[in-house]
Amino acid sequence: VFAARGTSDHAALYAAYLTEIRLGIPAGLASPSAITVYGARPDLANALVVGVSQSGGSPDLTEVLRAARESGALTIAVTNNTDSALNRVAELAVDVRAGHERAVAATKTYTAELLALLLLIEAVRGVGRLPDDTLAELDAVPKLAADLIADPTAAQLAPRYRFANQLVTTGRGYGYPTAREAALKLMETSYLAALAFSGADLLHGPLAMADDQVPVLAIVGSGPGGRAMHEVISRLANGRADVVTVGSGEIPHTAGRIAVPPVDERLAALLDILPIQQLALSLAVERGLDPDAPRGLEKVTATL
């Protein structure tokens, strides 16, 4: 069971997919309000409960971990601040070691959380040590990430959305958390009404609102999740939607593409989000906004 809010909730969603796919252990996201608002005490005696939070300061997550631990769960805090309330309540800790997060709209702590959760889950798979194949695949990631950050494609795309009121993001499997985080980043920094859907859920209703006036940002890797997006994009094309893809997957006849180097799809989440963060930054600047100071937000959000 993963418990998180906001950006960290998307890292937690990624971790839930990884847990089911790589470990064959059922995984899901906690609904904190069942515990914090209604006083539910689900019996989590056989569960590992992982709280994920940049600051470790959200009182609702602390309360979820406290209730879980009381019911017999093993608890872990995955934070960027080991001196946090979440760390004090959890038995075990993973420090994501991202250094001080200066942005209100979290960026480097998101990728650091993804990596920390990936390492944790792969180490469970390797019974206490990281499997060699994972280590070899991860070795390539820092250089690929640096190259991506130097690539101007995403920033150059920002003027295209200067006057967009809304935007749809979509992905499947490992690409779905990226779609969710993309929508949040664009909402936080550019005040765009960005709607995130899993590719499958998009076909169950929201597809109706995607017309040629609603831009679509689709996460399309070259693995199973990316391949499952091909039908979704062909349905969107029937509605003459304006689709830009992000990822290593190639789909002909889209309005644009932010190419990301191919890696195993479970690692793609670490890379795909980088140009999207750059797009959010450039779009905010294009709109005359300060992406480091979103209105109404603070770095530590206290919800109960």
Q: How far is the CB of 119 from its own copies (least distance, A)?
A: 20
Which tokens in the block code for residue 261? 């180097």
Given the complex with its own copies, which of 140 and 304 has the nearer CB atom?
304
- Find all residues with CB under 8 Å of 205, minimum gap 6, and list them: none
- Find all residues with CB under 8 Å of 72, minimum gap 6, and list them: 43, 44, 45, 46
Given the complex with its own copies, which of 99 and 224 has the nearer CB atom?
224
Q: How far is the CB of 29 from its own copies (least distance, A)?
A: 7
Tell me the C-alpha distance between 185 and 214, whole Å.
18
Q: How far is the CB of 151 from its own copies (least distance, A)?
A: 26
The string of DSSP codes covering 104-162 is SS--HHHHHHHHHHHHHHHHHHTTTS--HHHHHHHHTHHHHHHHHHH--HHHHHGGGGT
Q: How far is the CB of 163 from its own copies (least distance, A)?
A: 12
Which tokens in the block code for residue 188? 């936080």
Q: How far is the CB of 146 from its own copies (least distance, A)?
A: 27
Given the complex with its own copies, which of 156 and 166 has the nearer CB atom?
166
Given the complex with its own copies, which of 148 and 229 has the nearer CB atom?
229
Q: How far is the CB of 173 from its own copies (least distance, A)?
A: 5
The string of DSSP codes covering 48-87 is EEEEEESSS--HHHHHHHHHHHHTT-EEEEEES-TTSHHH
Given the complex with its own copies, which of 41 and 143 has the nearer CB atom?
41
Q: How far is the CB of 152 from its own copies (least distance, A)?
A: 26
Residue found under tokens 């990301």:
260
Tell me the C-alpha distance between 150 and 140, whole Å.
16
Given the complex with its own copies, which of 145 and 203 has the nearer CB atom?
203
In single-letter form, the type of residue at position 14 comes to Y
48-53 vs 242-247, strand pairing mode? unpaired
In this structure, how many other beta carbons lie within 10 angstroms of the beta carbon of residue 93? Answer: 17
Given the complex with its own copies, which of 181 and 246 has the nearer CB atom?
181
In single-letter form, the type of residue at position 102 comes to R
